[in-house]
């Protein structure tokens, strides 16, 4: 029997919404995606100006296997649709406290690189990889399953994992079991910033983030991560998904406590179910009346802990920096103080850590011939009364450009032919992020698993969530996984059989060969 009579509307064409659209359409559901912007991808979109192309947000493409399986469900091959290069070195770390580290998936070379900084720590590298391989294998089923109540935590299999996960430790404390040198620990914990958190407060579970990079690779999709979003939209359209672009959702329409459609400035759409792929906190405040929300009221949302934000520079340059790595991370001399400035004191550091993508050394499609792109990201506090960006933006931009000299990039100002900036205020105004928090709600122990907003939204009927604000959390691989979890729950409620294979293991061998 056809399921085309079943109508689902997805609010937002970010990566989670696009993945859900593919899975639901493949299962025979009538899907419409409503997107306020002119391009798909949300923060995983492309900025295209004057022949330059930049990823808006994510630039590290990690663990393609989840998306590869979603493409396969639609009868497509991800590797054909979006050619990718596995990077080696994955990135270069420059320590403000002294020293550099080229991170490579070649374990022997990585041992040598670590030994150049701390010989004793190099001897513990195998133990770190081995322990985290086991941790990931044991935890993956929980990343692939919905968590809808505390009872899910009481399962025997979860309790048996506590000695392995060590939830009583923060990430930095856990890494002390392996590495003595603070710089090496930072090299395996800065990834907590993918969640918008500090390694000194982030749960120890997330040591699996750096392990994933070494075990399964860091990739660059040709054209950038935004090219992945465009490919997903193509696949969705081929499956019959309709896209309504430049049409912002104003509110959901309810009959009692059940959502029956949504309203935009151009009209209304009826639906049997609605998938919200937007910043959770901001979407709830805008789309769902407060009196209908029993658990996630405006008042409770305001009490939650939110991630940091970012200050962004997108620079189109005349000339190239071929001696600079594809990805470079500078870690401030006083990294802990930099994090306190961001998370506790809500002020701008004078020696901020930063990340630079110099993707033109890998991908010549991103800039006109003889030109290149630089993408610069500086973690900063989310919107707070302590920082007035109308006054601080120019000063902080100048500081950011000076910081580039610390990784060997000079003479930038005179080469700039195109420039775009984003501040926490921009993230809020342009992308609808609550407090401009680019990684949504923080991933502390009080805001994980069943304590995050549920994939089958618990406050009203007929509403489902995908994206970084729900389980499993932030980061492209887990956002794609959130789409699988949510799509299964939605189809289960509609009594429709999913037309794709069960989630595969995240521990399978990588499919790409590394290239220099």
Q: What is the pLDDT of residues 392-432, one digit of tens each?
A: 999 999 999 999 999 999 999 999 999 999 999 999 999 99
Could you count the other beta carbons within 10 Å of the beta carbon of residue 385? 6
Spatial contact of 380 and 308, defined as CB atoms under 8 Å apart: yes
Please report which confidence band the pLDDT of residue 164 belongs to, taking 50, 70 and 90 as the band edges.
Answer: low
Distance CA(350)–CA(111), nearest Å, equals 33
Q: Considering the chain, what is the average pLDDT of its residues?
A: 90
84-87 sheet: strands from edge to edge: 61-62, 218-221, 84-87, 514-515
Whether 289 and 239 map to the same domain: the answer is: yes
The sign of the torsion formed by the CA atoms of 498, 499, 505, 510 equals negative
Could you tell me the CA-to-CA distances from 64 to 85, 104, 185, 219, 507 in Å, in that order?
A: 11, 18, 26, 8, 12
In a domain, 507, yes or no: no
We report the CATH number of the domain holding residue 467 as: 3.50.50.60
In a domain, 151, yes or no: yes
Whether the per-residue pLDDT at 253 is higher than 90: the answer is: yes
Could you count the other beta carbons within 10 Å of the beta carbon of residue 468? 29
Q: Which segments of 117-245 are extended strands (E)?
A: 218-221, 242-244
What CA dihedral angle connects 299, 303, 307 and 311, to 10 degrees?
70
Last residue of a domain, one of 210, 239, 267: 210
**What pairs with residue 416 in β-bridges?**
317
Whether 314 and 413 map to the same domain: the answer is: yes
Please report which confidence band the pLDDT of residue 514 belongs to, taking 50, 70 and 90 as the band edges.
Answer: very low
Whether 369 and 399 map to the same domain: the answer is: yes
Phi and psi at 313, nearest 5°, equal -125, 125
Q: Which of 54-58, 447-451, 497-501 has the highest mean pLDDT?
A: 54-58
In a domain, 511, yes or no: no
Whether 24 and 72 map to the same domain: the answer is: yes
Question: Where is average pLDDT lowest: 125-134, 185-194, 225-234?
Answer: 185-194
Last residue of a domain, one of 152, 187, 210: 210
Please report which confidence band the pLDDT of residue 510 belongs to, taking 50, 70 and 90 as the band edges.
Answer: very low
List, for residues 136-149, the tens digit of each pLDDT value: 887 776 666 666 65
Spatial contact of 31 and 24, defined as CB atoms under 8 Å apart: yes
Whether 299 and 313 map to the same domain: the answer is: no
Distance CA(38)–CA(498), nearest Å, equals 30
Phi and psi at 356, nearest 5°, equal -130, 130
Identify the H or E element spanning 120: helix 119-122
| Domain containing residue 242 | 7-85+222-303+443-494
Whether 297 and 406 map to the same domain: the answer is: no
CA 316 from centroid of its chain's CA atoms? 24
Spatial contact of 496 and 3, defined as CB atoms under 8 Å apart: yes
What CA dihedral angle connects 487, 488, 491 and 495, to 10 degrees?
180
Question: Where is average pLDDT lowest: 116-130, 253-267, 356-370, 496-510?
Answer: 496-510
Please report which confidence band the pLDDT of residue 389 belongs to, taking 50, 70 and 90 as the band edges.
Answer: very high
Euclidean distance between the first and the last CA atom of the chain, given in angstroms as a whole number? 51
Could you tell me the CA-to-CA distances from 272 to 32, 249, 259, 365, 490 in Å, in that order?
A: 12, 17, 8, 42, 10
Whether the per-residue pLDDT at 22 is higher than 50: the answer is: yes
Whether the per-residue pLDDT at 511 is higher than 80: the answer is: no
Whether 256 and 151 map to the same domain: the answer is: no
Last residue of a domain, one of 179, 210, 241: 210
Whether 352 and 234 map to the same domain: the answer is: no
Segment 252-256 shows an average pLDDT of 97
Identify the H or E element spanning 267: strand 267-270
In a domain, 504, yes or no: no
Please report which confidence band the pLDDT of residue 162 belongs to, taking 50, 70 and 90 as the band edges.
Answer: low
Whether 45 and 134 map to the same domain: the answer is: no
Question: Where is average pLDDT lowest: 33-37, 203-207, 337-341?
Answer: 203-207
**pTM strictly above 0.85:** yes
Percent of the chain with pLDDT over 70: 90
Distance CA(37)–CA(257), nearest Å, equals 29
Could you count the other beta carbons within 10 Å of the beta carbon of residue 195? 24
Whether 120 and 183 map to the same domain: the answer is: yes
3-state helix, strand, coil in the chain (%, to 5): 40, 20, 40
Could you tell me the CA-to-CA distances from 245 to 39, 40, 420 in Å, in that order?
A: 7, 8, 23
In a domain, 56, yes or no: yes
Phi and psi at 515, nearest 5°, equal -130, 150
Decide: residue 188, CB within 10 A, 0-12 exposed, 13-18 middle, 19+ buried. Answer: buried
Beta 218-221 vs 84-87: how paired, if at all?
antiparallel
Whether 401 and 327 map to the same domain: the answer is: yes
Per-residue pLDDT at 513: 31
Domains of the chain: total: 3
In a domain, 516, yes or no: no
Whether 329 and 407 map to the same domain: the answer is: yes
Per-residue pLDDT at 505: 40
Phi and psi at 70, nearest 5°, equal -65, -40
Per-residue pLDDT at 472: 85
Residue 496, classed as helix, strand or coil, is coil
Please report which confidence band the pLDDT of residue 275 belongs to, taking 50, 70 and 90 as the band edges.
Answer: very high
Identify the H or E element spanning 10: strand 7-11
In sequence order, what DSSP letters do the residues of 85-115 get, joined into one string?
EEESS-EEEEETTS-EEEE-S-HHHHHHHHH
Segment 260-271 shows an average pLDDT of 96
């Amino acid at each position: 029997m056809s399921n085309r009579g079943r109508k689902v509307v997805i609010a937002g064409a970010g990566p989670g919404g696009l993945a859900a659209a593919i899975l639901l359409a493949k299962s025979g559901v009538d899907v419409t995606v409503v997107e306020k912007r002119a391009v798909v991808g949300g923060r995983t979109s492309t900025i295209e100006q004057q022949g330059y192309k930049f990823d808006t947000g994510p630039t590290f493409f990690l663990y393609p296997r989840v998306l590869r399986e979603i493409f396969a469900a639609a009868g497509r091959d991800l590797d054909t649709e979006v050619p990718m290069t596995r990077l080696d070195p994955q990135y270069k770390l420059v320590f403000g406290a002294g020293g550099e580290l080229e991170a490579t998936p070649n374990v022997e070379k990585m041992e040598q690189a670590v030994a150049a900084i701390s010989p004793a720590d190099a001897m513990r590298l195998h133990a770190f990889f081995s322990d985290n391989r086991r941790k990931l294998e044991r935890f993956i089923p929980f990343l692939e399953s919905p968590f809808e109540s505390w009872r899910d935590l009481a399962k025997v299999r979860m309790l048996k994992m506590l000695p392995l996960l060590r939830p009583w430790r923060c990430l930095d404390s856990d890494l002390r079991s392996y590495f003595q040198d603070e710089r090496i620990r930072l090299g395996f914990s800065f990834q907590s910033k993918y969640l918008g958190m500090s390694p000194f407060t982030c749960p120890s579970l997330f040591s699996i983030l750096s392990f994933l990079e070494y075990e399964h690779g860091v990739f660059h999709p040709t054209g950038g991560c935004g090219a992945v979003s465009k490919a997903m939209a193509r696949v969705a359209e081929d499956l019959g998904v309709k896209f309504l672009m430049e049409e912002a959702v104003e509110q959901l329409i309810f009959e009692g406590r059940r959502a029956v459609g949504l309203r935009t400035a151009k009209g209304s759409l009826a639906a049997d179910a609605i998938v919200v792929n937007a910043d959770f906190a901001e979407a709830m405040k805008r789309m769902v009346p407060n009196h209908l929300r029993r658990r996630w009221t405006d008042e409770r949302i305001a009490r939650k802990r939110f991630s940091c934000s970012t200050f962004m520079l997108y620079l189109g340059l005349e000339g190239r920096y071929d001696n600079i790595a594809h990805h470079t991370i500078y870690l401030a001399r006083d990294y802990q103080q930099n994090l306190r400035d961001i998370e506790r004191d809500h002020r701008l550091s004078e020696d901020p850590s930063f990340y630079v993508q110099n993707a033109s050394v890998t991908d010549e499609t991103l800039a006109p011939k003889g030109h290149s792109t630089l993408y610069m990201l500086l973690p900063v506090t989310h919107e707070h009364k302590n920082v007035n960006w109308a006054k601080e933006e120019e000063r902080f931009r100048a500081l950011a450009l000076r910081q580039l000299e610390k990784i060997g990039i000079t003479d930038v100002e005179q080469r700039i032919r195109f420039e775009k900036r984003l501040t926490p205020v921009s993230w809020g105004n342009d992308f609808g992020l609550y407090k401009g928090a680019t990684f949504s709600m923080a991933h502390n122990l009080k805001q994980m698993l069943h304590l995050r907003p549920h994939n089958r939204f618990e406050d009203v009927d007929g509403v489902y969530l995908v994206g970084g604000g729900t389980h499993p959390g932030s980061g492209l691989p887990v956002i794609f996984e959130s789409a699988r979890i949510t799509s299964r729950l939605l189809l289960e409620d509609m009594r429709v059989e999913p037309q794709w294979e069960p989630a595969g293991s995240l521990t399978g061998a990588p499919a790409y060969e590394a290239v220099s």
